[in-house]
Amino acid sequence: MKAFITVIGQDKVGIIYKITSVLFKNNINILDINQTLIENYFTMIMLVDLSKMNADFTSIKNALENKAEEIGVDVKIQREDIFTSMQEI
């Protein structure tokens, strides 16, 4: 199973490190990543492989949301099938 993770917020040191540390701890592989700065706003989207994760989807979602709150950014995770179906509507 694959998922998309999006991160948006004010730019600051360590955003990528802190978000990807959650993925590392849960054995989630990054398949593709794109990040950019628009003025002082950080944006990132990742396609990740969940097939070998060592926790359930809800636990991963909660861990990412907790980390995002800690560092002051917004993060969303959506399964690839849900993301794709939303784009087709």
Report the top-level CATH class of 2-88: alpha beta
What is the 8-class DSSP label of residue 48?
A: E
Q: pLDDT truncated to tens, each residue of the chain (89 aa)? A: 999 999 999 999 999 999 999 999 999 999 999 999 999 999 999 999 999 999 999 999 999 999 999 999 999 999 877 766 666 65
Q: Please tell me the pTM assigned to this model.
A: 0.89
Treating both helix axes as pointing N-terminal to C-terminal, what angle do 57-71 and 15-25 enclose, rounded to 10 degrees?
A: 160
Spell out the domain ranges in the chain.
Answer: 2-88
Residue 28 region, left (φ>0) first, then alpha (ψ -120 to 50), else beta? beta
